[in-house]
Amino acid sequence: MAALGTRLLKIKVGTTEHTAEVSRVQITSGAADSDFTSFADAASGGAREYALELTMRQDMANTSLWRYIWAQAGQSLAVKVAPYGNTAAATATEPFYTGNVTITEPDGVLIGGEANSSTSARMTVEVRWVFAAKPSEVVTGAF
Tens digit of each residue's pLDDT, the chain (143 residues): 689 999 999 999 999 999 999 999 999 999 888 778 888 878 887 788 999 999 999 999 999 999 999 999 999 999 999 999 998 999 999 999 999 999 999 999 999 999 999 999 999 999 999 999 999 999 999 99
| Distance (Å, whole) CA 118 – CA 8 | 25
If 0-12 CB within 10 Å is exposed, 13-18 middle and 19+ buried, where does residue 128 land?
middle
Mark out the alpha helices in the chain (DSSP H runs): 39-43, 65-72
Q: Which 3 state secondary structure label does DSSP give 111? A: coil
Cβ atoms within 10 Å of 30's Cβ, excluding its own: 9
